[in-house]
Amino acid sequence: MKRRDFLKISAAAGILMATSNELLAKRMEPAKGHGIIFIVGDGMPLGVMKGMKTVFEKDMNYQSSIYSLLTDPKSIISLQNTSSLSSVVTDSAPASVAWGAGSKTVNRSLSVLPDGRNLKTILELAKENGLSCGVVTTTRLTHATPAAWYSHDSNRDNEDRIAEDLLNLKLDVALGGGDKHFNPTTRKDKMDLYSKFVENGYDVVKTKKELIDGFNSSKPLLGVFNKSHLSYYVDRLNDKTLGEKQPDLSEMTLAALNRLSKNPKGFILQIEAGRIDHASHANDAWGAIMDCYELDKTVATVMEYIKKNPRTLLIITSDHGNSGWGINGSGPEYNDSTEGLFFYKNNKASFEYMIKLMKNKDLKTVKDIFEEYTTTKITDAEAEAIYNGLNNKREFVINDQWYEPEATMGRILASSKYTANGEKLSKPAILRRGNVNWTSTNHTAEDQIVITYGHLSHQLDIRNYIDNTDLFKYMTKFFKINYKNPQMTADEARSFLKSVSLKEWQEHLKLHIS
C-alpha cells in the first residue's frame, strides 16, 4: 500500500469514527452519578503501543490519547505484577479475576478459587449497591476478560453456560461478539438465549445500525455483532460488509455510557480491546497495531466523556504481555528500524482474514492471497512454508510456537538480509521487510502499565508498583464498598493444579482466538 493510500484509508476511518462519535455524543445526556471506566488492552505489551504511536504520529500527525495520559501530570502511572496462582505467566481469566475480585486464582478459572469457592466480583457488588453495570468488548462477550467479572467457572471455555451468567446477573449493558453462545442453532442445548433476554426486558441488537437507532433507549441492552469475536479493526476498515455490520469500539462505548450514566447511584463499565491479544498470539504485527489504534481512539472518546462528566474514574491497563512483541533495531546504526516498522502498513488484512481465504486452496493460490493482502512478493519456498503450516499435521511444537501458519507468516514478514563484507555490514539491504519479531505465540510475564486518572484518583493511595489484585481494592474504595474475598497462596493452590492433555490444550488455543 502506498503511503498516500494508507493515509487516505486511515484518515477516512478516523473521520467516519469521529463523525459517528460526535453525532452520538450530542445525543447523550449528562451523567447523573459517579462512575468507573475500566479499559483493558488485552495482551497489549509496550511494543505494540510504541508501534501504534510511531506509525500514526509520523504518518498522520495523530496524537495518541494513551501517551497523552502517560505524560499528563494528573495521571498516576503504576506497574503491576500479573502472575497467577498457576505460574509467573498468567492466562487472561485469572488476570481479570484479580482486578474484579481482588484474589489470585489459577489459569483458566473465572472468579472461583482452586478449591471451588466462588469469589464475589466487582459487578456483583456494584449491583448489590444499586449501581449500573456493563461490559463492552471486541471479543466474544463470553470470553475470559469480561466473563471473569460476571461468571463463576473453573473452565473459561464453558462459554454456552457462561452466557447464561450474563443474564443471571442482569447486566445493564453487554456489547461484543459471540452469537454462537446465544443462538439456539449453535448452542449445544439449543436454548434460545436471545428470547430470554427479551423476556427480561432487554433491547437485543445485532448490527451497528440497530445499536445507533436505539441509542437513547433506557432499557437494558444486549448487543451481539458477530458469530465469534468481532473482526479485526483492519478488516472492518477494508471489508465494507464487515464495517457496516459491526460497530467500532468507540461506538459501543458511547452507547454503553449513555445508558449506564443515567443511574444517579453511579455505574461501572469494563471496556476491552481484546483482539490486540489475538493478533499478538498470531504474530500479526499490523493486526495488533490497528486494534491498538482503535483502542487509542476509544480512549479519546472516553476522555471527551470525562470532560463533560468529571465525577468519573478512569483505569487503563493490560492483563499480560504476549509473544515477546519487539520492534528490532534494523540495519547498520539501526537506521532501517523505522522503515522496517512502516513496512507493515502495506497489509490490507489480518492473518485471520487471509487464512480463511487460504483454506482448501492449492499452493499457488495460497501464495497469491498472501501477496495480494500484504503487497509483498515472497519466494516459492516461503509460500510452501505457509501452505505446510496450514495443512500439515505437526509432530512437534518448537519454541512455543503453537499457532501455525500464523507464526510462519509473521516470520516471513519480518525477514531481512544484509551482505556482510569483512567487518562492515553493507547497506542498502538485499531484503528488508518488517522488523517486529516474536519469542513465541504465547503470553509473557512482564509487568504491565496501569494508568489511573480522574475523580478521586489521588485519594485512593495508589502506589507505583502494585499487584493486579490491588485494582479491586481501589474500585471498592471508590464506591465505598467494604468487602474482601477469600484468598489462597500459590503453595495452597499447587495440589489443585491440573495438567491437561496436549490435544485439549491445542483445542483451547484454537478456540481462544478463532
User: Average pLDDT of the chain?
Assistant: 94
| Catalytic residue from among 64, 78, 92, 231 | 92
Q: What is the pLDDT of residue 5?
A: 55
DSSP symbols for 125-162: HHHHTT-EEEEEEEEETTSHHHHTTT--BS-TT-HHHH
With pLDDT > 70 as the criterion, what percentage of the chain qualifies? 95
478: which residues sit within 8 A by CB, 6+ positions away?
34, 36, 313, 455, 456, 460
Is residue 42 annotated as involved in ligand binding?
Answer: yes
pLDDT at residue 473 tops 90: yes
Contact, 66 vs 316, CB < 8 A?
yes
The domain limits of the chain are: 3-324+444-513, 328-437
Q: What is the pLDDT of residue 423?
A: 66
3-class DSSP assignment, residue 436: strand
Q: What is the pLDDT of residue 15?
A: 46
Pick among 3.40.720.10, 3.40.50.2020, 3.40.1110.10, 3.20.20.70: CATH of 3-324+444-513: 3.40.720.10
Is residue 181 annotated as involved in ligand binding?
Answer: no
Residue with cell 462477550: 141
pLDDT at residue 19 tops 60: no
Is residue 272 annotated as involved in ligand binding?
Answer: yes
Is residue 443 annotated as involved in ligand binding?
Answer: yes
Backbone region of residue 39 per phi and psi (left: phi > 0; alpha: psi in -120 to 50; beta: other values)? beta
Lowest mean pLDDT among 117-126, 439-448, 490-499: 490-499
Report, in this order, helix, strand and coil percent for the chain, each rounded to 5.
45, 15, 40
253-305: per-residue pLDDT in tens?
999 999 999 999 999 999 999 999 999 999 999 999 999 999 999 999 999 99
User: Which one-letter amino acid corresponds to residue 344?
Assistant: Y
The three cell numbers of residue 284 are 500479526
Q: What is the pLDDT of residue 421?
A: 75
Backbone region of residue 427 per phi and psi (left: phi > 0; alpha: psi in -120 to 50; beta: other values)? beta
Decide if 92 is catalytic: yes
Q: What is the pLDDT of residue 457?
A: 97
423-459: per-residue pLDDT in tens?
666 677 899 999 999 999 999 999 999 999 999 999 9
Would you give the distance in Å from CA 131 to the centre of its chain?
25
Is residue 152 annotated as involved in ligand binding?
Answer: no
**What length does the chain have?**
514
**Phi and psi, residue 508, nearest 5°:** -60, -45
The three cell numbers of residue 270 are 469494563
Mean pLDDT confidence for 236-250:
96
Contact, 444 vs 322, CB < 8 A?
yes
3-class DSSP assignment, residue 186: coil
CA distance 92 to 103: 14
Mean pLDDT confidence for 110-138:
97
Q: What is the pLDDT of residue 10?
A: 53
Q: What is the pLDDT of residue 265?
A: 97
pLDDT at residue 413 tops 90: yes
DSSP symbols for 332-356: GGGTTHHHHHHGGGG--S-HHHHHH
Q: What is the pLDDT of residue 2?
A: 52
Is residue 281 annotated as involved in ligand binding?
Answer: yes
Task: Kindly report the number of other CB atoms within 10 A of residue 358's CB atom.
Answer: 22
Is residue 34 annotated as involved in ligand binding?
Answer: no
User: Which one-letter amino acid corresponds to residue 266?
Assistant: G
Q: What is the pLDDT of residue 58?
A: 83
Could you say which DSSP state residue 21 is in?
A: H
